[in-house]
Amino acid sequence: MAEEEVSAEENTDIESAIDQATEAVAVQASELEELDGPQPGGDPLGMRSLSDVPVRVTVEVGRTRLTLRELVELRSGSLIGLDREAHEPADILVNGKVVARGEIITMDEKYGVRISSLLSAE
């Protein structure tokens, strides 16, 4: 029974430890409140400030799936069929997201794409 009973001295030590912990938490909370200082000033970040950020534009003519066996058997001159017909528009992707469709053209001996439709933002 003596082990189960808490002496008055031990009880005081426990209460003192609880008081110290409570005070430490209160100090930390008041330090966090100091972080709520003045709001940043200046002009908001708008489209004008983002206009020079580079983005990756990709034109996708079509896709296909091959087995690993078919892939390793490819040689120079091999043909790969795609999932689109010749008259179907190509997808125009910006950073991996389809934003438009267009037709493949040649421009000064290089390929290009003429935008035929813009997709609505979802």
Domain extents in the chain = 1-36, 51-118
Determine the pLDDT at residue 7. 64
User: Is the pTM value of this prediction over 0.75?
Assistant: no
* Torsion sign, CA atoms 24, 28, 29, 31: positive
Determine the pLDDT at residue 111. 92
- pLDDT tens digits for range 40-80: 777 777 788 888 899 999 999 999 999 999 999 999 999 99
- pLDDT tens digits for range 80-113: 999 999 899 999 999 999 999 999 999 999 999 9
Report whether 94 contacts 55 (CB < 8 A).
yes
Determine the pLDDT at residue 83. 94
Residue 19 structure tokens: 């008081």
Chain CA centroid to CA 111, Å? 31
Scanning the structure block, which residue is given the tokens 């091959």? 66
Spatial distance between the Cα atoms of 30 and 43, rounded to a whole number of angstroms: 31
CATH architecture group of domain 51-118: Roll (2.30)
Determine the pLDDT at residue 9. 65
